[in-house]
Structure formats: C-alpha cells, structure tokens
C-alpha cells in the first residue's frame, strides 16, 4: 500500500464520537478526520480509546465526502513518520492533560459558585 502523501496536524478531536479535524500543511481548508479512516488496526483501537491529541502529526490521503457535501475527508490516516504515538504522548503531554481535566472541574465549580452569589446579590439590590 503506498504511503499517504499529504501531511497535517490534528487540531480538534472528540473522543466520544471518534472524529475531529486536521489542518493540512498545504494550506487547504481543514479536513474531516474519523477513527474508522485509520487502516492500521492497532493504531485505530488506540485512537478509539484515547483519541488523537491536538498537535499530533499525521499523514493521509484526501478524498471528497461520500455525501458530496461538507469538508474533504482525511483517509488512510497514519502517524507521520518519526512522530509515533509514544513521541506525541510523552509523560509531559499526559501530565498536562490531567491537569487540564482538574482545572476544568475547578472552573466549573468556580463558575457555579459565582453565579449563585451573583443571583443572591441581584435579589438584594431589587429589595
């Protein structure tokens, strides 16, 4: 099987729905990316479990969407040579990801607290 010719960087990934978008190096618009378009079964299972990370370098072929509408599609997706999963998923990356999750939950609580305080204050002002 010939190697995919185009290269790009994953810019978004939805692990639950197993799709995302890739910014193509050759200045095309962003492409649609789906886990099912990864032919290597071992890599596909890892992508389905962990997902791509923002910034992962990949190689792919570009095809029009099956429906004839929407974004072009990245097919035959593989990690860019020298940019294997272990390189893009080093300890630092994982560490940052965990802290992002912790920060998100803190921010959620913070927003919730401030909203409730804001409502109490506005009620006091009306009286």
User: For 100-110, how does the pLDDT look when each residue is reduced to its tens digit (9 = 90+)?
Assistant: 555 555 555 55
Q: Taking a C-beta distance cutoff of 8 angstroms, is the pair 4, 59 a contact?
A: yes
Residue 88 CB contacts under 8 Å (≥ 6 apart), including other chains = 53, 55, 56, 57, 79
Q: Taking a C-beta distance cutoff of 8 angstroms, is the pair 99, 58 a contact?
A: no
Residue 80, pLDDT > 50, answer yes
Look up the pTM and report it: 0.61
pLDDT at 85: 47
**Can you give the C-alpha Rg of the chain in angstroms?**
20
Q: Taking a C-beta distance cutoff of 8 angstroms, is the pair 23, 9 a contact?
A: yes
pLDDT at 127: 55
pLDDT at 81: 75
């Amino acid at each position: 099987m010939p190697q995919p010719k185009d290269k790009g960087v994953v810019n978004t990934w939805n692990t639950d729905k197993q799709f995302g978008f890739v910014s193509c190096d050759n200045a095309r618009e962003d492409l649609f990316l789906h886990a099912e378009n990864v032919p290597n079964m071992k890599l596909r299972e890892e992508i389905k479990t962990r997902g791509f990370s923002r910034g992962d370098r990949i190689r792919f072929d570009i095809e029009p969407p099956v429906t004839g509408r929407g974004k072009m599609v990245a097919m035959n997706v593989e990690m860019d040579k020298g940019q294997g999963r272990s390189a893009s998923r080093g300890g630092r990356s994982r560490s940052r990801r965990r802290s992002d999750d912790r920060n998100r939950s803190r921010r959620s609580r913070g927003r919730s607290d401030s909203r409730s305080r804001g409502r109490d204050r506005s009620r006091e002002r009306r009286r």
